[in-house]
Amino acid sequence: MAVKTAKEIRKKSPGRNRLSLLVNGQPFELEVGTEPYQVDPAHTLAHTLRETLGLTGTKISCDHGACGCCTVLMDGKAILSCMTLTVECNGKQIMTIEGLSDPKTGKIDPLQQAFIDYTAFQCGFCTPGIIMSAKALLHENPFPTEEEVKEGLSGNFCRCISHYHVVKAVMAASKEVR
Amino acid sequence: MANTYRYIGKATPRKDATEIVTGGAKYLNDIKFPDLLYGKVLRSPHPHALIKKVDKSRAEGLEGVKAILTWEDVPDWKGGTPRYTRILDRKVRYVGDAVALVAATTEEIAKGALHLIDVEYELLPAVFDMEEALKPGAPQLYDEFPGNVVTPGVPFFGPKSLKEVVMGDTEKGFQEADVIAEGTFGYENIPNPLPPEPPGAIALWEEPNKLTLRVSNQASYMDKITLFHVMERKVEVRSIGGPCGGSFGSKFMSWQVQSYAALLSRATGKPVKLIFTKEEHLAAFTMRPASRMKARVGMKKDGTVTAISGTWLIDTGYYSMTTQSQVAVGCGEVQIAVRCPNWNLRPVIVCTNRNASGIVRGFGGQELKCILIPILSLAMEKLDIDPFEFLKKHFVKPGDGYFWRDGIWYTYRGVDFAKAMDKGAELFGWKDKWKGWLKPTAVDGTKRRGVGVGVHGNADIGEDASEAYVRLHPDGTAMLFSCVTEHGTGQRSNYIKMVAEVLQMPMENVSVTPSDSLINPYEFGPAGSRGTYAIGSAVIAAAEDAKRKLFELIAPMLQADPNDLETVDGVIFVKSHPEKRIPWRAMSIDRTLTGYGRFEPDYTLTNCMMSFVDVEVDTETGNVTLLRVVNTTDVGQIIDPPGLEGQLNGCLGSGGIDSALFEETILDRSSGHILNANMIDYKWRTFSQLPVIDNVALETPFPSHRFHAVGVGEIATSPGPVAVLMAVSNAIGLWLHEYPVTPERVLKALGKVPTGARKGGAA
């Protein structure tokens, strides 16, 4: 039976067939295509990070841009990787939760340490996304007020209600910088 | 009392903290396997239909598709209580019911194949309301449940399992009453506990009958047990749990998604991963049961309840696995909260053509409190009785008793919670804020403030059995064998703390095994609030047993009696002569010592949580803002302060307080479709909407285990919703009868919008 698959259709689509990404400081040259090792034009950045690059610290929860679990940094700004197509990321610098540690010493980021010190998580599934949003916030506003922290994290879903501990951890991390 | 413990009661970092904050924690969907196939489920677009024909040929022609299964291809595996719900059936009973299962080499191909399966349905009339479903001539979901009434009772709870609260003489009770109040209240918004990690499973079938499952569950050992029964007691199941991205009860029962993955692996010979999408999570995985109550209560002037009589209708959706258990526990819990000699409370569990209800924090009792406390409040209102004083007076006291889930009477032997309640009321400022029934605390233009209070307690803190081993090694380390997964409470770390405390050794030197049913003994899992007392007791007993074995082995070497020995930091010494000492390695490097601990169920202790809420209602917009929550409890002994605080803060989420404010699953009662099965339309609280929460946790030692502690986490969600309903009613001066208190309902009560029937959603 001749079924024209999405794969076959995509094979014929024109366009660039390579893209380069800098993920956590490491350059990646990825082929665009439909083989498992390639980046399908329909793949989201969340999918590529998790399935192609094996960076599973970035979580997918709603896959719909609502919950913030998949938050990563693109050129320093927080983005939802489930709402971003990988093919649109050519030449971009991406930072994921795995990239926050000091590349030389391996020491975790003071923000991550604050999350440990304040037990700012329960089940932990939403935590990488929250940390990445907080990282972007502190990058833009190193000394936020509590209200600004809450506003900055308002796109991140947490069901266990770790919110109160998270706000304390982010405030503590910002004070440390201060 | 000063804390003399080395670790208990002190904040210590969670053992898994670094993995969680670095993204290293491997949740179910993060695990990679070679040759992995991906599973997807074709779901029914109809609420009630017979499958006439399935044509798989187009889908089978798609490259990468490895298996397509329909009801005709699978064994007669069944779940439910009683076990009448087939894993795939010829009949579909809700919009979302499984019609076919597909395994393919990629998720995209599996998804694509779903569109190529042609199904011919014969549509049947459907029913979406409990009272409609009970009427003669209503569409029937199962031949086995005539009238759509689900068989009551839970075999697992024993032959007398609690099905109702019937005792004394209610007629006599009503005669003795000074006032009688009657009313109907509904908690029918079927909120979803909605953990961020969706339900899923990875299965590997090995012929003829061996199944290895990777699960995401708070109680991974129980998957093995549940599936053994579902799979006709013919399959040897090994379940392996890992970090669980939230459960709140729900993932305790994941037999369907696990069976789907198992069947696809059985059909293909390859490992199969099947993870629900968020839409499936919201529309085809379990949510809170819906409850409606019509009841009469009799009360004396002093607040003594003389009689309670009513019908508790529970909508379980298209099937029930645990609803009878929730009814049993709810019926037990209501006696803990309300002392009354004469009861005639009759639950009826009803099937309707919507997605199923299942386990959620609050487990029956939250549902029952949400609709019974308001009816008691109507009587309190007539007598001008303060609800705080009422709830404090009625909550179980040492020497009182209750019929628990097994239908057996237990006498409570724990602490009096009145002290904790007083402390909470004082912190909240209840005396100043309470102005009387249906009276606002303050009015400022269109803004009206109101306060409310609720209470809940659960004797499940000692429910079911637990087992654990503690193995001591000559290098001075210990390993705990316990089939507990980490689902957010921090209990895996707390058990390490308990072992380290018993053995007086550094926490770094204690590890815990993966929650694999192959290597660990029986564990019911941290369901309800049983983690601290029930599981803790097994862990403590195992550590003590290991210590005893160590001392028996070492005593001759120190020429001492085992009872005279103590160990600290991997060194054993004679208590009276500490210089007589020897390290653990004296046990010899070719030896380990294993202690065993078991906890037997004990229903004579309960926990308690009282929540006070302060709300502001805008009478112009109908909007309700939760300003402040005070939770108060007595836990005997805090094990981990930040962990406990996190659990109590959890009162808002997972179908808790917010289920009274804005959370609801909206079912279109004409088509059976859930209209908000995504995280934009399903409302949840964001960081920018946080109320002030203050938590009080007293530490009056409990007669539980050596640390005198009891658990409380589960019930954090439970007292709040009814407190919100009460607070909003007080603020606007009118009783609201339905959850959640949406702007629409508030404005309707105030007569500012027409009171016409609402399309979709709870009635």
Out of A35-44, B299-308, B404-413, B441-450, pick the least confident: A35-44
Q: Which of A98, A119, A147 is the last residue of a domain?
A: A98
pLDDT greater than 70 at residue B1 = no
Domain identity same for A114 and A94? no
Q: Which of A69, A98, A127 is the last residue of a domain?
A: A98
Task: Say if the Cβ atoms of B650 and A108 lie within 8 Å.
Answer: no
CATH 3.90.1170.50 residue ranges for chain B: 31-124+194-284
User: Would you state the pLDDT for residue B180?
Assistant: 98
Q: What is the pLDDT of residues B396-423, one digit of tens each?
A: 999 999 999 999 999 999 999 999 999 9
Q: Which of A65, A98, A131 is the last residue of a domain?
A: A98
Residue A108 φ/ψ region, left for φ over 0, alpha for ψ in the -120 to 50 degree band, beta for the rest:
beta
Which CATH architecture group holds B17-24+464-599?
2-Layer Sandwich (3.30)
How crowded is the C-beta side of A41, counted as CA atoms within 13 Å?
12
Contact B707, B540 (CB under 8 A): yes
- Partnered with residue B598 across adjacent β-strands are B467
Q: HEC profile for B415-482?
A: CCCHHHHHHHHHHHCHHHHCCCCCCCCEEECCEEEEEEEEEECCHHHHCCCEEEEEEECCCCCEEEEC
Residue-range definition of the domain harbouring residue A162: 110-177
Residues of chain A in contact with residue B29, where contact means CB-CB under 8 angstroms, are 56, 60
Strands (E), B325-372: 343-350
Q: How far apart are CA B498 and CA B532, in angstroms?
A: 10
Helix, strand, coil % in chain A, rounded to nearest 5:
40, 15, 45
CATH number of B290-461+604-749: 3.30.365.10
| Cβ within 8 Å of A, B 271-290 | 277-278
CATH 3.30.365.10 residue ranges for chain B: 17-24+464-599, 290-461+604-749
Q: How far apart are CA B626 and CA B612, in angstroms?
A: 11
pLDDT greater than 90 at residue A12 = no
A88 touches chain B (CB under 8 A): no
Please give the DSSP secondary-structure letter assigned to residue B584: G
Q: Each residue of B474-512: b (16+ CB within 10 Å) or e?
A: bebbbbbbbbbbbbbbbbbbbbbbbbbbbbebebebbeb
CATH (domain of A134)? 1.10.150.120
Number of CB atoms found within 10 A of residue B439's CB: 13
Q: Which parts of B292-347 fold into alpha helices (H)? A: 323-337
Pairing of strands B179-187, B401-403: unpaired
Q: What is the pLDDT of residues B180-230, one digit of tens each?
A: 999 999 999 999 999 999 999 999 999 999 999 999 999 999 999 999 999
Q: What is the pLDDT of residues B624-680, one digit of tens each?
A: 999 999 999 999 999 999 999 999 999 999 999 999 999 999 999 999 999 999 999
User: Would you state the pLDDT for residue B678?
Assistant: 98
The CA-based dihedral angle spanning residues A4, A8, A14, A15, taken in that order and rounded to the nearest 10 degrees? 130
Looking up tokens 């090792």 gives A37
DSSP sequence for B109-177: HHHHHHTT-EEEEEE------HHHHHSTTPPPS-TTSGGGBPPP--GGG-TT----EEES-HHHHHHH-
User: Would you state the pLDDT for residue B189?
Assistant: 96
Residue among B14, B487, B687 minimizing CB distance to A163: B687
| Total count of domains within chain A | 2
Name the 3-class secondary structure at B692: strand
Q: How far apart are CA B655 and CA B658, in angstroms?
A: 6
Q: How far apart are CA B528 and CA B405, in angstroms?
A: 13
Domain identity same for A56 and A80? yes
Closest of A33, A43, A26, A44 to residue A7, by C-alpha? A33
**pLDDT bracket for residue B756 (50, 70, 90):** low
Domain identity same for A74 and A120? no
For residue A55, give the chain B residue with the closest CA: B23
Long-range Cβ contact pairs of B392-396 (< 8 A, separation 24 or more): B392/B418, B392/B421, B392/B422, B392/B610, B393/B303, B393/B339, B394/B303, B394/B305, B394/B337, B394/B338, B394/B339, B395/B336, B395/B337, B395/B421, B395/B455, B395/B457, B395/B608, B396/B335, B396/B336, B396/B337, B396/B339, B396/B457, B396/B606
Residue among B17, B25, B652 minimizing CB distance to A161: B652
Domain identity same for A25 and A87? yes
Looking up tokens 């800098």 gives A22
B199 touches chain A (CB under 8 A): no
Longest Cα–Cα distance in chain B: 88
B17 touches chain A (CB under 8 A): yes
Quick one: how far is CA B440 from the chain centroid? Answer: 34
Phi, psi of A39 (to 5 degrees): -95, 115
Task: Say if the Cβ atoms of A64 and B650 lie within 8 Å.
Answer: no
Q: How far apart are CA B154 and CA B164, in angstroms?
A: 12
Contact B694, B630 (CB under 8 A): yes
Q: How far apart are CA B730 and CA B732, in angstroms?
A: 6
For residue A158, give the chain B residue with the closest CA: B196
Residues of chain A in contact with residue B110, where contact means CB-CB under 8 angstroms, are none
Domain identity same for A115 and A79? no
Domain identity same for A23 and A79? yes
For residue B280, give the chain A residue with the closest CA: A62
Task: Say if the Cβ atoms of B197 and A125 lie within 8 Å.
Answer: yes
Q: How far apart are CA B11 and CA B448, in angstroms?
A: 40
Q: HEC profile for B700-715?
A: CCCCCCCCCCCCCHHH
User: Would you state the pLDDT for residue A8?
Assistant: 52
Q: How far apart are CA A49 and CA A128, in angstroms?
A: 14
Specify the fold of B31-124+194-284: Aldehyde Oxidoreductase; domain 3 (3.90.1170)
- How many angstroms separate the CA of residue A113 from the nearest CA in chain B? 8
Domain identity same for A94 and A42? yes
Q: How far apart are CA A165 and CA B645, in angstroms?
A: 9
Domain identity same for A30 and A77? yes
Q: Each residue of B50-76: b (16+ CB within 10 Å) or e?
A: ebeebebeebbebebbbbbbbbeebee
Q: What is the pLDDT of residues B219-270, one digit of tens each?
A: 999 999 999 999 999 999 999 999 999 999 999 999 999 999 999 999 999 9
Beta sheet of B272-275, edge-to-edge order: B65-69, B98-104, B37-43, B272-275, B200-206, B210-215, B236-241
User: Would you state the pLDDT for residue B752?
Assistant: 94
Q: What is the pLDDT of residues B498-552, one digit of tens each?
A: 999 999 999 999 999 999 999 999 999 999 999 999 999 999 999 999 999 999 9
Domain identity same for A90 and A141? no
Domain identity same for A114 and A170? yes
* Per-residue tokens: A46: 């969340």
Name the 3-class secondary structure at B285: coil
